[in-house]
Structure 1
Amino acid sequence: MTTLMTILGIVVFVLGLLISIAWHELGHLSFAKLFGVRVPQYMVGFGPTIWSRRKGETEYGVKAIPLGGYIRMIGMFPPGPDGRIEARSTSPFRGMIEDARAAAFEELQPGDEKRLFYTRKPWKRVVVMFAGPFANLVLAVVVFVGVMMTFGASTQTTQVSAVSDCVIQASENRTTCEKGDPAAPAKAAGLKAEDRIVAFQGEPVKDWSSLQADIRENGGERVTLTVERDGEELDLTATLIENQVAKTDGDGGYVKDQYVTAGFLGFTPVTDVVPQSFPQSVERMGDMIENGVESLIALPGKVPALWDAAFGDGPREADSPMGVVGAARVGGEIAAMDIPPTQRLATFLMLVAGFNLSLFLFNMLPLLPLDGGHIAGAVWESIRRNLAKVLRRPDPGPFDVAKLMPVAYVVASVFVCFTILVLIADVVNPVRIS
C-alpha cells in the first residue's frame, strides 16, 4: 500500500508540475495575443510531441519531457543592421547570434510584418515576458493563502505540552537533569501539562510568539501567570530565571546554533494545526517569499555541499537545492505519510505552491534565456530611447537582444550543469521530509 501511495504521489506531483508550466506559458500566450503578436506554438514540455492540436494560428501540444515549456513568438529578435536575418558568418559567436535571429523569423508569413514581437513597444514586451512568472506567483499566493486559511498551519500554542524539571543551558544539548541543576520556574510554580496560559501579568496572551517575548523580557522577575485548567482559571506565581536560550527568529521559531541570555520559564508548548486569518496568511506568504529570495541568493554557496552529498559522504541538508526528480520523490513521500488525509493534501499543495514561487523567482533573474533577461533588454531599450528623446538625438532603434546570445549559451550551460548535479544528488542522496 505504501508503494502504491508513493507512486500515486509522484504521478499527482507530475500533474501539478504540468499544470504549473501550462499556467506559466498561458500567461505569456494571453498577453502576446492581446498585443497582436503571432504565436505559432504553445507547448508544455520538451522533446518529442505526445499530443498536439491546431486551433486558429496556434498549435497547442504536450511533449514527452515535463521539465519546462515554451511559446514560439514570431520576431523575438530584430533583424541585423543590414536588414538581413539569415546566418552569414563563420564566427562561432556571430553564428550563435544569427542562428537565434533566423529562428525568430523562420515561420514568417505574409502579413506578419506588423505582428513581430520586437516591434511591440518596450512596455508591452515587458508585460508579455513578465506575465508567465507572474502567473506562477499568483498561483503560489492563491494556493498558499487558501491552505493557510482552510487547513491551517503548524503553530505553537500557549497550551503546555510538557514541563521541564530543571534549568539547562540550550548550548549543552542535553535533556536530562544533572545534580546541581536548579529547578525550572514552571515546575516550582505548579504549571502542569495541558494547562493553557491565557494571561501574563494580568494582560491577555494573544499567541505563543507574544508569550515567548514576555517571558524572555522579564528574566529575574517574579511574574503572575493565569492558566486555564479543567475549565477554570487560576493564577500561578513564578520567578523567571536568566538562562542561555536559543535565539528566536521573531516568529516563535529558533535560529540554529545561536543563543542569547533571556528569561526562562521552562515548558514546551503544544504544536497544533491552526487555521490562519487572511492577514496572518498574507504575512506568512511574505515570509515565504523573503525566504525564497534569500535561498536564491545563497544558491551558489550551496553547490560545494551539494557536490559532497552527490559524490562524497556529505549529508543532504533539508534546505539543499532540489530538482523536479527530488520534488517528485517528496510528493510520493507525502502521499505515503501516516498522517490524516487532509494534512497530506495540505502538505502536497504547499509543495506545489513552493514550486510555483521558485519558478517566479528563478525566471525573474535578469539573464538570458530566462524571462528576466528579455525584460531587462526591453527596459534598457526604453531607457535608451527616452534618453535619446531628452537629448534630442536620433532614435537608437530596438535593442538587439540577439547579441547577448553567446552569454545566454554560457548561462544555459551553467544551468544545465547545475541541473545535472541536482538530479544526481536527488537520486543518490535525496532530501527526505520524514
Structure 2
Amino acid sequence: MAFLIKTIQFLAGLSIIVGIHELGHLLFAKLFGMRVNSYMIGFPPKIFKIKFGETEYALGSIPLGGAVQIAGMIDESLDSNHLTNPPQPWEFRSKSAWQRLMVILGGIVFNLISGTLIYIGLVYMRGSTYLPKDEVNKYGIIPNTIGMQMGFKEGDKIIKINGKDFEDFNDALSPTLLLREKSYYTIIRDDRELNLSIPEKIIEYLSDNYKTPFIQPIYPCVIRTVVPNSNAYLAGLMEKDQIITLAGKATLHIDQLITVAKTCLGKEVEIVYLRNGIQMATTIKIEQQGLGIVLAQPAYKALKYSFLQSIPIGVKKATTTIQNQCLAIWKLLTGKLSITKSLGGPISIVQIFSNEFIWDRFLELVALLSIVIGLTNLLPLPVLDGGHALFILYEMLSGRKPSDRFLKITQKWGMVILLLIMLYAFGNDIRKLLTAAFMYFATYKS
C-alpha cells in the first residue's frame, strides 16, 4: 500500500510537471503565431480530448510524459511529410531563429518559474522550521554507517562549515556542501577542535541510503508526560525520567527508542532510566499504541514570513536547487561522480515520496522535480530541448541552418541514446532494490 501511495504521488506530480513544461512550448508557439496541432499530457491511448481552434487538447492513459506537436517542426514524432511543401507562415520552420529558440526553451523556462513559485508559496504558507546549531550541540550528533565513514563519532559537535558559522542544522546536511570540492566541518571532540574533510564522492553513497541522514542530533529520551493508567504509569515511570536502555538496547535519542520499541511489540521488557541522576530499572509491556509516554522534543525554531519576505527566500531555495543540479550534472559528465551509483530512474524517484500524502511535502517535491526535469531537458541531446536549442544557436552564429535530413537523423539517434540512458537508469533502480532486499534478508537471518 505504501508503494502504491508513493506511485500515485509520483504519477500525479509528473503529470503536473509535464503539463507545465508542454504549456510553456504551447504558449510561446502561439505567441509567435505558430500553429499548435496538439497538446497532450501522457501517452496514447487517449482517454479524453477536446479541440479549441486548431489545437487538440488531450489526456493520455499512460501518465509518463507528454508532447506538443507544432506545425513545421521535426520532433520526436519524426513526422516529415510537411517538408515536401514550402514553409507556411504559421509553421515553426518559417519563423526567425530567436523565436524558434524561445519556443524550444519555453518548457524549461516554465519548469524553472513554476518550481520557484511553489517554493515561494510554501515559504509564505508554512514559514520555516529548523533545529538551531546550539540546540544540537547540547548533546552532539550520532552518525550512521556512512557518517562514521566520513569520520564522525558519537557526541561530536559541529561548530563551523567551511570555516564559517551557521545557524540551521540542515546546512550541515546540504547537498550543496556535499557536492562541492574541499568542503569540511569544524567539530569539537573531547574538548578539542578538529577539521573533518568531506570525502569527494560521499554523495554517491548517500544516494543509495537517502532514507536517514548520515548524522542525527542526539536528543535524550526524557519523559515530558506519562499517560494516566498506561503501561508506563503502571511501571512507575514519571515525568523527567530519562530512558537510557530498552530491552537491553541503548536509546540515546528518540529515533532509537522508537526503533527498539517496534521490535518488542507485545513483549514485557526491561527499561532502564535515570531519575535525578540515579539509575533505576523496571519492566514494561509494549503495546501497539506505544509505551504510554510523551517525550520532550528538541526546541525547534519557527519563523513566519510575509508574502514579500517569502519571495527572496523562495527564490534562494530555487537557485540553490538549480546550482546543486548543475553541479551534479557537471560531475557526472566529467566522471567525478559514478553514473552507476548516482543515476536513478522512475523507481528511485518514486521512493523519495512519502508513504502518506502530505500536501506541502508533495508540492515541495514537485518544485524540486520541476527544476530537475527542466535542467535535464537542457542537456544537448538531439531529442531533448537542449539539442534543438543547440542547433538553433549554431544557425544564429554561423548563419547556416542545419538541413532537414540532418535534423531527422539526429532526432532518431537522440531517441536511441535517450532510450538507452533510460534503460540504464531503470537497471540501476533494479540493482539498488536487489541490493536492499539482500541486505534486509541477511540482517533478518542474523
State the TM-score, normalizing by the size of structure 2. Answer: 0.58
Q: Map 1:34-113 to 2 at 5 A.
A: 34-76=31-73, 100=78, 102-105=80-83, 113=88
Aligned-partner Cα distance in 2 for 1:218–1:244: 5
- Structure 1 match to 2:350: 328
Where do 5+ consecutive residues of structure 2 fail to align? Answer: 142-147, 160-164, 173-184, 206-216, 220-297, 437-446
CA distance in 1 between partners of 2:40 and 2:329 (Å): 27
Provide the aligned C-alpha RMSD in A: 4.4
In 2, the alpha carbon distance for the partners of 1:322 and 1:218 equals: 33
1: CA distance, partners of 2:431 / 2:198: 34
Distance 1:304 1:217 in 2: 28
Unaligned runs of 5+ in 1: 79-95, 177-183, 187-196, 198-204, 220-239, 258-266, 307-316, 386-395
2:34 alignment partner, SS class: coil
Q: Which of 410, 415, 431 in structure 2 is aligned with 1:412? A: 415
C-alpha displacement at 1:118, in angstroms?
0.9
- Change over 3 Å in CA distance of 1:242–1:63 after alignment to 2: same
Q: Where does 1:254-265 land on structure 2 (aligned, <5 Å)?
A: none
Report the TM-score, using the length of structure 1 for normalisation.
0.60
1:282 to 306, 309, 315: 315
Alignment correspondent of 1:234: none
163 and 32 in structure 1: CA distance in 2 versus 1, 3 angstrom threshold: closer
Which residue of structure 2 lines up, in the alignment, with residue 128 of structure 1? Answer: 103
Letter in 2 for 1:207: E
1:207 pairs with 2:229:
no
Structure 1 residue aligned with 2:154? 175
Offset at 1:206?
Answer: 8.3
Instruction: Report deviation, 1:120.
Output: 0.3
Pairing of 1:340-419 with structure 2 (within 5 A): 344-385=358-399, 398-400=401-403, 402-419=405-422
SS in 2 for 1:51: strand
* Partners of 1:7 and 1:424 in 2: CA distance: 21
Give the 5 Å matches for 1:231-246: 242-246=192-196
Q: Which moved more, 1:145-154 or 1:115-124?
A: 145-154
State the alpha-carbon separation in 2 of the partners of residues 165 and 367 from structure 1: 47
- d(CA) in 2 for partners of 1:414, 1:49: 27
> What is the CA–CA distance in structure 1 between the aligned matches of 2:151 and 2:187, rounded to whole Å?
23
CA distance in 2, matches of 1:160, 1:17: 38
Structure 1 residues 243 and 302, CA gap change in structure 2 (3 angstroms): closer
Change (3 A) 1:274 1:368: farther
Which one-letter code corresponds to 2:56 in the other structure? E
Structure 1 Cα separation of the partners of residues 68 and 364 of structure 2: 27
2:132 match: secondary structure: strand
**Structure 2 residue matching 1:113: 3-state secondary structure:** coil
The alignment-based identity, stated in percent, is 23
The match for 1:293 among 326, 331, 345 is 326
CA contact (8 A) 1:50 1:63 kept: yes
**1:122 Cα deviation after fit:** 0.8
Does the residue aligned with 2:7 lie in a helix, a strand or coil? helix
Aligned partner of residue 114 in structure 1, secondary structure: coil
Q: Is the 8 A contact 1:377 1:401 kept in 2?
A: no
1:44–1:66 Cα contact (<8 Å) kept: yes
* Alignment coverage as a number of residue pairs: 315
Name which of 111, 118, 135 aligns with 1:160: 135
Q: Which has the larger radius of gyration?
A: 1
In structure 2, the partner of 1:138 is 113
Change in CA separation of 1:245 and 1:34 when aligned onto 2, cut-off 3 Å: same
Q: Sort the Cα spacing of 1:402 and 1:162 in 2 relative to 1 into closer, same or farther, 3 A.
A: same
Per-residue deviation, 1:375: 1.7
